[in-house]
Amino acid sequence: MYEPTTWKARNLPKSARRNSAEVLQGHPADVLLNRLDTATIVVALDGTVVYANPACERLLGYQTSKTLEGQWLPSLLVRHSETPVHACIEMLRDPDVVTNWNHSDGYPIATLASDPMLFRATEEMLMVSLTDVSDRVWAEVHRAKHFLS
> Which pLDDT belongs to residue 23?
59
Tell me, yes or no, whether 1 lies in a domain. Answer: no
Tell me, yes or no, whether 65 lies in a domain. Answer: yes
34 is in which domain, residue-wise? 14-148
> Which pLDDT belongs to residue 1?
36
pLDDT in tens, 60-97: 998 765 678 899 999 999 999 899 999 999 999 999 99
Tell me, yes or no, whether 5 lies in a domain. Answer: no
* Residue range 26-40: mean pLDDT, rounded: 77
Which residues have CB under 8 Å from 64's CB, separation 6+? 57
> How does DSSP assign 57-84, residue by residue?
HHHHT-SSHHHHTT-BHHHHBTT-TTS-
What total of structural domains would you count in the chain?
A: 1
Q: pTM of the prediction?
A: 0.75
Tell me, yes or no, whether 4 lies in a domain. Answer: no
What CATH number has the domain bearing residue 99? 3.30.450.20
- Could you tell me the CA-to-CA distances from 99 to 58, 123, 124, 137 in Å, in that order? 17, 22, 21, 11
Tell me, yes or no, whether 33 lies in a domain. Answer: yes
Query: Confidence band (pLDDT; 50, 70, 90) for 25?
Result: low
